[in-house]
Chains A and B, each alone.
Chain A
Amino acid sequence: SQQGEEDPQALSIQEGENATMNCSYKTSINNLQWYRQNSGRGLVHLILIRSNEREKHSGRLRVTLDTSKKSSSLLITASRAADTASYFCATDAVARGGYQKVTFGIGTKLQVIP
């Protein structure tokens, strides 16, 4: 699998339900970030979790990180139609030469049905 690979690739839920998206990665990381992208638009940063953190909350978002399994999950509680978007995880690792590089996954397309 690729660095920062999300599953499922598509998720359709009813408004009010919770949405869980998972991300797996291969190499050691400094941070893992989740971004949202509405169709054809820019990237909106949602949350950053550091490699020494296990869980982080921001409003209706909850992110977990398991560095032993090299995986992360994003939970959106009480989903709304406005949450419909693509969600990407992005791993931030030290690249060749000591500089950082962010690698994005292929994303999960979330559809929240009103």
Chain B
Amino acid sequence: EPEVTQTPSHQVTQMGQEVILRCVPISNHLYFYWYRQILGQKVEFLVSFYNNEISEKSEIFDDQFSVERPDGSNFTLKIRSTKLEDSAMYFCASKERGFFNEQFFGPGTRLTVL
């Protein structure tokens, strides 16, 4: 069964460093998403991406964040200058066209900012 994959599974970085989290969505999916979950809290929407552009973003998704689909298969989330409070689990998701289709989530990348 096709699945969303994410790399790395765990990333440790120093405050102020740039990180890139990578996702490979399911191949025929058209909508792509990033979410984050701070330890012990709920999953929060960050951004949705369709047709090579951001379609929706939350207030969390500020200028420090960017997304890209560089080669038609990968979908990346970049955090330019990490802060301690960026430490969280980051989930990628993808979805087929259609309102009644579910989002498929990847296993997540745990980001630890020291």
Contact = CB atoms under 8 A, between A and B. Distances in A.
**A and B interact:** yes
A101 B44 CA distance: 11
Contacts, number: 67
Interface residues of B, number: 26
B100 A30 contact: yes
B99 A30 contact: yes
A101 B105 contact: no
A72 to B, nearest CB: 15
Question: Which secondary structure characterizes the binding site on chain A?
Answer: strand
Interface in B23-38: 31, 33, 35
Nearest to B93: A102
B7 to A, nearest CB: 13
B103 A102 contact: yes
A61 to B, nearest CB: 15
Interface of B: 31, 33, 35, 41-45, 48, 50, 55-56, 89, 91, 93, 95, 99-100, 102-108, 110
